[in-house]
Structure 1
Amino acid sequence: MAEMTYRTALVTGASSGLGRGLALWLAKHGLRVFATGRRLSQLQALAAEAQAAGATVEPVVMDVTHAEAAQERIRAIDAECGGLDLVIANAGVGGPTHGKRMDWDKARAIIDTNVTGAAATLCAVLPQMVERRRGHVVGISSLAGYRGLSGHAAYSASKAFLSTFLESLRVDLKGTGVGVTCVFPGFVKSELTAKNRFPMPFLMETEDAVELMGRAIFAGETEVSFPWQVSASMRVLKAMPNTLFDATARRLK
């Protein structure tokens, strides 16, 4: 991807966590940022914090699980701002979905947000970006998508979908002027990870993760994964034959 100057960005799931941090980071670096989420009060607080720092964040109440409506809103923003340079599909949810106690409602909620919602976000103005020969789409996957982790079938699978989807886009969009980046975070302090009741090795501060992500996006990197300790471990697990992985995963659960 050729180096580009970013003017505008849209970040989903910006009410908290990585999305909030990334929206603020981008705004402080001079972008006009459209921060989307379901909770208006949190988005307004984000906008106020950005304004105090001399930056611009515009709150947009949007639910990515309503895919068609979300796409319409993103397209309207694209037209209004003269073209989105950067679209980041960050909105995501987690939660246990164990094979022995499978709850379809929980699994569907994860899929609706992490798969359908993310893909709808990434596709919303992709044709316009290709026509303009300018743009960058980013998806926030997870190191949990490298393999199917015990008790988290829907979450691991949803993140595996996103990374593979982005990989295909990256290949297809070569030479169009549109960049593609997939981010693979490990454990980062957020509302999502605060609900976890299991050990989270090498837990990162949100600010550190955001800085790493932002710089990787600006550099046009195709993939970024962190922290390196967990990333290296997951790559080893990915290379394991199934019999060895299954035994290891059962011990790790």
Structure 2
Amino acid sequence: MHYRTALVTGASSGLGRGLALWLARRGTRVFAAARRQEPLQALAQEAQAAGATLEPLDMDVARAEETVARIRQLDADCGGLDLVIANAGVGGETSGKRFPWERTKQMIDINVTGAAATLSAVLPQMVERGRGHLVGVSSLAAFRGMPTHAAYSASKIFLSTFLESLRVDLRNTGVRVTCIYPGFVKSEMTANNRFPMPFLLETEDAVERMGRAIVRGAPVFAFPWPTARFAQLVHSLPDALFDSLAGRLL
């Protein structure tokens, strides 16, 4: 598929930055959204040097009502968004033994409410136009409630289930839905991870895989396959066995 216009949230670093540039280099007019504007300006200059069109957009998805209004206005101004990628997200530990409510609320505001606001803002308009593509970046951590990561795993479970229901609802409307489950990728989010990270991917490699999956309209894309297969196996374990194995990571 070819997209005239695309919105990518969380585009100031990591996968969001890479996806915004990947799409722009392929002829899409990309609106790169994030809170941090200095990295976005640098990204716009990099895109311009490559002859691509990328426009920075100041947006904090944690402010859900503002996000919806901003995306609707953008949709009207650009003649319709063809692709919306809800990538903005935050992580971190939320151990049940020392549970940090402030960090948990931040994850819910960004990973749950912010993602839902981003994806639903112009969904009625996409249905009316009979075209569009919604993409959410979940995580392999959504397959089970990972130890010390209750808020993060739960936030990604919400996103994947939200997208699954939308995918069923939107059949035969012309609007596609894709849920992406990345494994471990080198980024700001994983830089301080104290757990082992098998099959750790470079950002460029992960972006290329995600970009190809989006363009071909894959409904679900989990990668890399060894980590994805392991996550699927863990998902199928009986609760008692999972609790025992996961407890050894603490």
Mark yes or no: TM-score above 0.5. Answer: yes
Separation in 2 of the partners of 1:75 and 1:22?
Answer: 22
Separation in 2 of the partners of 1:198 and 1:173?
Answer: 38
- The partner residue of 1:18 within 6, 15, 23 is 15
The equivalent residue for 1:198 is: 195
Separation in 1 of the partners of 2:108 and 2:169?
Answer: 24
- The partner residue of 1:224 within 204, 221, 224 is 221
Letter of the structure 2 residue corresponding to residue 123 of structure 1: S
Q: How does 1:50-89 map to 2 (within 5 A)?
A: 50-89=47-86
The equivalent residue for 1:47 is: 44
Q: How does 1:95-106 map to 2 (within 5 A)?
A: 95-106=92-103
Separation in 2 of the partners of 1:147 and 1:51?
Answer: 41
Letter of the structure 1 residue corresponding to residue 19 of structure 2: L
The answer to whether 1:167 aligns with 2:164 is: yes
The answer to whether 1:211 aligns with 2:208 is: yes
Q: Tell me how far 1:201 sits from its aligned partner.
A: 1.1
RMSD: 0.7
Structure 1's unaligned 5+ residue stretches are: none
Separation in 1 of the partners of 2:201 and 2:2?
Answer: 29
Structure 2's unaligned 5+ residue stretches are: none
Q: Tell me how far 1:196 sits from its aligned partner.
A: 1.6
Q: Tell me how far 1:229 sits from its aligned partner.
A: 1.1
The equivalent residue for 1:110 is: 107
Separation in 1 of the partners of 2:232 and 2:100?
Answer: 29
Q: Tell me how far 1:6 sits from its aligned partner.
A: 1.0
Separation in 1 of the partners of 2:210 and 2:56?
Answer: 21
Separation in 2 of the partners of 1:193 and 1:35?
Answer: 22
The equivalent residue for 1:135 is: 132
Letter of the structure 2 residue corresponding to residue 36 of structure 1: A
Residues 111-134 of structure 1 deviation map (CA, whole Å, 9 limit, x = unaligned): 110000000000000000000000
Separation in 2 of the partners of 1:28 and 1:118?
Answer: 25
The equivalent residue for 1:93 is: 90
Residues 125-162 of structure 1 deviation map (CA, whole Å, 9 limit, x = unaligned): 00000000000000000000100000000000000000
Paired residues in the alignment total 250
Q: Secondary structure at the match of 2:180?
A: strand
Letter of the structure 2 residue corresponding to residue 21 of structure 1: G
Residues 176-201 of structure 1 deviation map (CA, whole Å, 9 limit, x = unaligned): 00000000001101111112222211
Letter of the structure 1 residue corresponding to residue 123 of structure 2: L
Residues 8-37 of structure 1 deviation map (CA, whole Å, 9 limit, x = unaligned): 000000000000000000000100000000
The equivalent residue for 2:31 is: 34
Displaced runs of 4 or more, over 6 A: none
Residues 70-116 of structure 1 deviation map (CA, whole Å, 9 limit, x = unaligned): 11111111011100000000000001001111111111111110000
Q: Secondary structure at the match of 2:109?
A: helix
The equivalent residue for 2:249 is: 252
The answer to whether 1:179 aligns with 2:179 is: no
Q: Secondary structure at the match of 2:7?
A: strand
